Structure formats: structure tokens, C-alpha cells
Structure 1
Amino acid sequence: MPLLITRMTRALVGLAVAAGLAVVVAAPPAQATNATCTSSPRWVASHATWGVPSRMRVTYGEHFSFSAQLDTHCVGNTDPVQGTIWAGDTQFQVSADRGRTWRTVDSEPSYLVRWEGTWSIKRAVWVRVHTTGGRSYANDTWAPSTSSVVKLSVARHATLRVSGTRAKVAVAPAKSIRGLRVAVQVKRQGKWRTVQRPRASRRGVAVARLPRASQGAPVRVVLPAARGLARSVVRP
């Protein structure tokens, strides 16, 4: 019996010590700051520029990215040491219908955000940054907000090969050009003249036969603006 009491006593002492350590180590609960806050999303840079213009153009498959940050303002903070606590998510959103509906493609719980959209965007879209707002665990209230809108035009990725009187253009994504006609042009007397309008195959390939008289002359192919992609010119 004394041995059992001793073991029980040691166990109780151990629990008491552990409980005491827990009290010392555990962080005190956050004090409510009760701030009312607003944020203003601001474009910082793209893959090619500092600052982001209202219109940009990329080629399908080309690396591109956007970054943005939030300028914030709060009133009513009662704890200057703790500061205000951010709440909500910062979202990159795209629209394919000129801003009538928006789809979130990336979301981060942060003041600074960056999105890489390579391969994910296959047609022209409108891009914006949106914050959801919310209430933090310190009772700070954040209102939702939205950035300015950037129109992102997308051109097809294409390669043109000319061999003798044969011109072959391969386009990606294939479904963006499938069944459409492209304009094969030859430069004569300083002007571009269309010599043939072949139709692209289901694999996105169009082949044209050039006039023999045009051998050695500059050749290009004009891809039409269609199916959400921009008009573009392809050279060998």
C-alpha cells in the first residue's frame, strides 16, 4: 500500500508540474482590438513590367505572372502593441464575359499575392484581385474590396516552316484554330498579298502551296481573331 501511495503521489506531482509548465508556455489569448479596417488591392508588377497596365497581351504557353499588394487602413485599434489582425482571403479572379461573372483561380490569406497563370489561360480574360473581408480572432472587421481590372489578350502559339513552295503552320491550342482559314501572304513590291487561305486541320495544322514566282520572297501567315484569341502574325 505505501508503494502504491508513493506512485500515486509521484503521478499527481508530475501532472501538477506539467500543468504548471502549460500555464507558463501557453501564449495569452489575443486581446480584442475591435478595429474597423479597409483594404485597397494595388497591382505591383507583371512578368514583364513594374506596374500592370490596363491591357496586356501574352502568347499561349508563355510564362506570365501578376503580383499585387494590399494598402490597408484601420480605425478603432485599442491595442497598439498587438496591432490589427488580418482576416479573409486575397483572391485572383478571371472573367471570360467582360466582368459579368468571376472565377477564382488562386487564393491566399496574405497582404502580398502572386499568381502564375502559364498554360491555365487559353483565351482572352479580364483579371482582378478581390479580398473577401471578414472578422479576425481579435474582433477586427475587414470590408471586402476589389482592384482595377486588367484585360489580358492571348495570342496563339504558332510556328511557320517554308520549304520551296510549301508553307506549313502549326498552331496551339489546336482547337482554337481547328476548321478556320488562315491567310498565307507573300511580300511583293513592298506589300503583303494573300496567295492562299488553307483551312486548319483538327490538329491545328494548315498547309499551303506558294506560287513558284514567289520563291525566295518573304512569307507570313495571319491567324484570325476568333474563339477568344487575338489576331496574330506568324513568320518563319
Structure 2
Amino acid sequence: MSKQETITVIKKKLEQKEFSNKWLEQLKTDERKGVQKLLKQYNQKQEKALQLHEQFIHMTKIETELYETGIDLIAGVDEVGRGPLAGPVVAAAVILPKDFYLPGLNDSKQLTIEQRDHFYETIYKQAMAIGIGQADAKEIDYYNIYQSSKLAMKRAVDSLKQQPNYLLVDAMKIDSLLIEQQSIVKGDAKSISIAAASVIAKVTRDRLMAEIGEVYPMYQFERNVGYGTKAHLNALRKHGPTPYHRRSFQPVRQYT
């Protein structure tokens, strides 16, 4: 059986999962090192897939419990961009369908750029509704970053084409909204809806900062997304702040 098959054929079968359990069991007796290496890789992938599945199920627990009470339109809400010296704070509100399944989706900070971009496209294709909200540098300077984050979140919820009947919000409460809501600390790692909002907000803001970086290339916003890297601080010292800089933040304040 497997001893008559080439390693290339075995590899293709494992990748495409075109085999029976009996074939897989017989493969374990194949003494070729290349075959055993393929089998080990396959088992590792299966174990990783199971871990991601279990993680996903765990992250849907809050939503599942709400669905069971009759709540059917849940919006996850999250924001990104509190810490940078430049650029807006960006929030996203996302309503996912009940049958949404995307193993590996997690807090955007835990994902690679490639994973975020992939999940971003998938969420946009499958979500029932997505809303984006921003508060720019001037508003951040006027209101402070905490209140501006709430403002961006409210704008994200208000921009949804479908009105949610429940909100899951990462680590804060949006007082200006009358919708029933739950604040969840580290919610982007506990709720799949908040994790989806985290990815949408992060990718949206990163792309926006890249666009701003084309206008102000000396600040390297496409790399640092507004955070105070050495190159950013050197450019700030040399050229002064742009209209996108938060002038109430140090060290921007000393150059205004």
C-alpha cells in the first residue's frame, strides 16, 4: 500500500485529505523517514486545527448565551489607536451571523499582518453589518483620549446599517447609547464579536496611517502607524508636528 506509493503521492493525499482511516493507520507502519516526517507534520496540523476550533468555541460562549435568551443582533465594539502620537482613534462595530465560523480569529494584536488582512476580508464578506467610527487628533486634544475613544465607538455603532439589540464592548461602556450592553475587560480575547471588531478597526487604522504616510513620508507612518519610534521622534524634532499629531501628547507638545 503506502510502501508502493511515492512520498509525493502520500504528501498530496495528506494535504487534500483524500484517504481512509485504514490507509492512515497503515501509513504509521511505513518506515521511510520521509513518510514519518509527513505523518508527524499532518498530526501537528490536526492538533493545531483542533486547538483553534476549541478556542473559537470558547470565544463564542458569551454570544451563545445571549442567543439563547432571544437576543439575535449582537454588535462587538472595539477601538484601536489610544497610544500613538499621531492619527485618529478608530473604532469598529461588527454584527456577525449566528453561524459565523473563523477559527484563529483573536485579538488583532495577537495576529500577524497577513492573518489580520485575511480575517479582515473574510469578516467583511460574512458580517451582517459593520460600522466604522473615528475621533481625530483635534478631538483627542479637546476631549482627551478616553472620551474620544468612546466617541469613536458611538460613531461606529451609529453607522451600522442594522440596529443591534445588544453590545459587547471591550473594556468600557458607551454611556451615550441606550442599547443594552456589556463591558468586557480584554474582550477581544474573550468574545468573537469583539475580536472581529478589533481586526476591522486595526486594519482600517493601519491603512489610513499608510495613506497619511504618503503625504508625510518623513514620519514613516506606514511603518509606525503613529507610535513614537526613533525615526518618528527624529522627524518630529526636525519638521515639527503635522495636522494629524496629537498636540496634547508628549513629546508632541514640546514642538508645538
TM-score interval, normalised by the smaller of the two chains: under 0.3
TM-score by length of 1: 0.24
TM-score by length of 2: 0.22
Greater helix fraction, Structure 1 or Structure 2: 2
Greater strand fraction, Structure 1 or Structure 2: 1
Greater Rg by CA: 1
